[in-house]
Chains A and B, each alone.
Chain A
Amino acid sequence: MSVLPEAEQLCARLLAELKPLVGPNSAMIGLYTGGVWLAERLHAGLALTEPLGTMDIAFYRDDFHKQGLARDPKRTQIPFPVEGRDLLLVDDVLYTGRTVRAAMNELFDYGRPARISLVVLADRGGRELPICAQHCGAKVEVPADTRLRLRRGDDGKLKLELERAE
């Protein structure tokens, strides 16, 4: 198993990549939970005009009928109009692409953005839908029966971790 990259380093790299690309029409939305942590760091570093949006895709998942409703879904809060925006959609790990599909469906119920760019810390491959990240910290290879997660320490430091999938 290859060693996981340092999340903090990837975060800094993304920040540098995004800085020249954001403007007054840009806004950011993080996906719970790892995506929100990452988005908070990026949002702070990019000095965007609009506050950070947070999104829980629980009500838009495509596996509701197998898995049921997630315990304690969080509340999606998008404190700016979506219409016509250049949106940065932020998640920690890109895998099958289903989470992003659900996020886009939910987003379009709020309005019609001008464009959506996907920002992820790690891309582990294994895509099941035609989705790709415009900005990616690193490509990572991990075994199929594991889950790649972002963790935030008490000191606020981000770290990538591998868990056995249930």
Chain B
Amino acid sequence: MQSNPQLNANGELRHLLSIEGLPRDVLGSILDTAASFVGVTEREVKKVPILRGKSVFNLFFEPSTRTRTTFEIAAKRLSADVINLNIAVSSQTKGESLLDTVANLSAMQADLFVVRHGSSGAPYLIAQHVKPHEHVINAGDGRHAHPTQGLLDLYTIRHYKQDFSRLSVAIVGDVLHSRVARSLIHGLTTLGTPEVRVIGPQTLLPTGVESLGVRVFHDMREGLRGVDVVVMLRLQSERMRGALLPSAQEFFKHYGLTAEKLALAKPDAIVMHPGPMNRGVEIDSSVADGPHSVILPQVTFGIAVRMAVMSMVAGN
């Protein structure tokens, strides 16, 4: 059986592959370090020299502009050199294997790989094969994990609510396919959040989801009652074609966040969304743009969190 590949022999972060398996103090350390980087993002010269001379390769096997851009900005603010590789992989074409691609980049003196891949577990495979001085950051693998998103969500919650030990958090929508949801759930439970709820139709909740430490609700009104944080997940149009849902309209009626449903949560509840939003499908515009929404600050925090993660792994 393999040992936790994220941590080195001293229990320090060598790669960031998943929030699951990160000790509580490492998690806290990442959030604290991110707080220091927020300061950097707010000043005139938004750069620090930590990763000067280092090469960060953005290896995106799944297309993504937003995540890739935030990683690029974060790396550049650490003074690293950034190289972007968008590798469109079709299941029919047998091109270079994943490990061959990584080996070639390694030969080009890469220091840090930021990897997004459609298959769960791909970053683990890469991490098992990189050289000792190379580091891997998972930017999203299949439906398994998106740890930097989970971390920025945790940072956002900590920023507005401070104390996890009293919170009730509801995650709404397509949990089955969501790596964001899984990462956030692990983070919340590790930090001692007493009540983590998932809300969605049975077709969109994975088997045995309770084993992750959450309470399941199929009725959104019941599930939102008294919560401090509402996290809306993106619904992809493919779900309608896969016999998981009949239509976006019916989904919005029962699981879309409207002002009326939000009123059931605490009066100072915050609304989060990993983006990009489908207005009118999972969230109403009035809520997305309203006073409870912290969706835009999430994006700013995302850069600081990624700066923190890259600095921490690159130093170990």
Stretch from A3-11, A41-49, A104-112 forming part of the interface with B: A104-112
Contact partners of A72 in chain B: CB under 8 A:
29, 32-33
Q: Which of B24-57 contact A (CB under 8 A)?
A: 29, 32-33, 35-36, 38-40, 43-45, 47-50
- Chain B, 288-316, contact with A by CB distance < 8 Å: what is the 0/1 string? 00000000000000000000000110111
Contact partners of A67 in chain B: CB under 8 A:
315
- Count, chain B residues at interface, CB 8 A: 21
How distant is B64 from chain A, measured CB to nearest CB, in Å?
27
Do A109 and B29 touch across chains, with their CB atoms under 8 A apart?
Answer: no
Q: A76-B36, A111-B44 are in contact. Are A59 and B49 (CB under 8 A)?
A: yes
Contact partners of B81 in chain A: CB under 8 A:
none
Do A68 and B44 touch across chains, with their CB atoms under 8 A apart?
Answer: no
Do B44 and A58 touch across chains, with their CB atoms under 8 A apart?
Answer: no
Do B315 and A59 touch across chains, with their CB atoms under 8 A apart?
Answer: no
Do B33 and A73 touch across chains, with their CB atoms under 8 A apart?
Answer: yes
B12 at the interface (CB under 8 A from A): yes
- Count, chain A residues at interface, CB 8 A: 21
Q: Please report the C-alpha to C-alpha distance between residue A13 and residue B32 in the assembled complex, in whole angstroms.
A: 37
Q: Please report the C-alpha to C-alpha distance between residue A65 and residue B48 in the assembled complex, in whole angstroms.
A: 14
Q: Which residue of B lies closest to A59 (CB)?
A: B48
Contact partners of B43 in chain A: CB under 8 A:
109-110
Contact partners of A59 in chain B: CB under 8 A:
36, 40, 48-50, 311
Do B45 and A109 touch across chains, with their CB atoms under 8 A apart?
Answer: yes
Do A75 and B35 touch across chains, with their CB atoms under 8 A apart?
Answer: yes
Do B45 and A68 touch across chains, with their CB atoms under 8 A apart?
Answer: no
Q: Please report the C-alpha to C-alpha distance between residue A120 and residue B32 in the assembled complex, in whole angstroms.
A: 28
Do B49 and A105 touch across chains, with their CB atoms under 8 A apart?
Answer: yes
Which among B38, B39, B49, B315 is the interface contact of A69 at CB below 8 angstroms?
B315
Q: Please report the C-alpha to C-alpha distance between residue A76 and residue B45 in the assembled complex, in whole angstroms.
A: 13
Do A58 and B36 touch across chains, with their CB atoms under 8 A apart?
Answer: yes
- Chain A, 63-80, contact with B by CB distance < 8 Å: what is the 0/1 string? 011011101111111000
Binding site for B on A (CB under 8 A): 56, 58-60, 64-65, 67-69, 71-77, 105-106, 109-111
Can you pick out 6 interface pairs between chain A and chain B where the beta carbons lie within 8 Å of each other? A68-B12, A69-B315, A73-B32, A106-B48, A109-B44, A109-B45
12 extra interchain contacts, Cβ-Cβ under 8 A, other than A77-B39, A109-B43, A110-B45? Answer: A59-B40, A59-B50, A60-B48, A64-B50, A69-B315, A75-B36, A76-B36, A76-B39, A109-B48, A110-B43, A110-B44, A111-B44
Binding site for A on B (CB under 8 A): 12, 29, 32-33, 35-36, 38-40, 43-45, 47-50, 311-312, 314-316
